[in-house]
Amino acid sequence: MFQRLKRKINLIISIALSLVILSTSILAYTMLKSIIYNHYKLLVTQCIEQSNKNARLYMYLIEEETNYFAADSSLVHFLKQGKFDSRIIAILDGLKNMNLNILGVSVYSQNNMAYTSNNVSNAPPLQWILDNEIPPDFIKDPNQQSGWMLRYKFMDQSYYFSYKKGKTGVLSLLHKIMDFNGNLIGIMIVDTDVDALNRFYQNELSEYFDLHGSYLITESGRALAKQTPSKSERKKVKRLTMNSDNKKSDDGNKGNSGIRIFQQNGKDLIAVSSIPSSSGNIVVHVLMDPLNSKLSGLRTWLILLSVLLILFSIGISGALTESIINPLNHLYRKMKSPLPDTDL
């Protein structure tokens, strides 16, 4: 008796408990995944911030070395003569030899004379640099003594053929040369190896993450990389770097640090950060496979746990059903049993 009711009650309790277990497991996995991803992004951001500090110290060292040579009284004297003086080349070689990451040095005087360190030839004319590379505000602003920029437009010509490390582009320091009266008499351009700057990010992040690579990208969105990034990555990075505001993008975020992070194809992390003291950006590509593999293990563990809990809940539902049906069966048998005869 009550077998049909017993099956219905057992089924309802089993389904209810199973739904609670499944929804709890899914919610727990989703929350844990979100927390882990956010923490992972935070760690990436912190590593990039530290790399930015290291890169800024490296750039500051080159700035100080350049400032020392640009203020050299001999250089100022030779430039003010208004005629070509080969002794300037020796001064530029001295600056180049001070730092292994300096690829070459050029100086342009106000009378359009160009001087380069011995390893550089066929330097572009000053007017071409002013029209194509140097920001107009740099020359006009009396308060800006120096600035950094990414250069690549002249890469296909013989000027950079001697730069074995600079075929994709160079990170250049622009420095004004002033006379003792504070008048502009020339511009010094110090070309440095982009890979040297890259290494600050690669070494820092590869210590903690599975790093796919990093590369510099110009203000216009051109990637200075030995291996060209994927089309979708370039498109997304270009859109982020050319977006002048600091608002949150549709699938990326930009915190107070100025570092924007988004997921490439829903998997790998792509982080974009401004290069210190420059209009360019550094792009870091972090592989998510190791983390996703661990999350996959967590998901498998939760599935197995859910299955065990569901099986346990089925047993619980059976016991609950019995606790409901048994009293009903007992009552039914009582009601069906004949009443004892009584003599009036």
Residue 304, amino acid: L
**Rounded average pLDDT over 107-120:** 87
Q: How confident is the model at residue 309 (pLDDT cuts 50, 70, 90)?
A: confident
Neighbours of 52 (CB within 10 A): 21
- Say if CB 187 and CB 172 are below 8 A apart: no
Predicted local distance difference test score (pLDDT) of residue 27: 92
Q: What percentage of the chain carries pLDDT values higher than 70?
A: 79
Residue 114's φ and ψ, nearest 5 degrees, are -115, 130
Span of 37-41, 194-198, 320-324 with lowest mean pLDDT? 320-324
Q: 232-272: per-residue pLDDT in tens? A: 776 777 666 665 334 433 344 544 457 888 776 667 888 88
**Rounded average pLDDT over 294-323:** 81
- Say if CB 48 and CB 271 are below 8 A apart: yes
Q: What percentage of the chain carries pLDDT values higher than 90?
A: 17
- Say if CB 273 and CB 258 are below 8 A apart: yes
Query: What CATH number matches the domain at 71-193, 3.40.640.10, 3.40.50.1820, 3.30.450.20, 3.40.50.620?
Result: 3.30.450.20
Predicted local distance difference test score (pLDDT) of residue 41: 87
Q: How confident is the model at residue 40 (pLDDT cuts 50, 70, 90)?
A: confident
Residue 171 burial (C-beta neighbours within 10 Å; 0-12, 13-18, 19+): buried
Predicted local distance difference test score (pLDDT) of residue 228: 65
Q: Which residue has the higher pLDDT, 328 or 193?
A: 193
Is the pLDDT score of 177 beyond 90? yes
| DSSP letter (8 states) at residue 278 | B
Is the pLDDT score of 156 beyond 50? no
Q: Which residue has the higher pLDDT, 166 or 300?
A: 300
The CA R_g of the chain, rounded to the nearest whole Å, is 35
Token pair of 247 as six digits = 């608002």
Please state, in angstroms and rounded to a whole number, the distance separating the CA atoms of residues 57 and 39: 27
Pick the closest to residue 163 from 101, 94, 107 (CA basis).
101
Q: How confident is the model at residue 61 (pLDDT cuts 50, 70, 90)?
A: very high
Predicted local distance difference test score (pLDDT) of residue 149: 86
| DSSP letter (8 states) at residue 169 | -
Is the pLDDT score of 184 beyond 80? yes
Describe the crossing of helices 87-98 and 73-80 by its angle, rounded to 10 degrees.
140
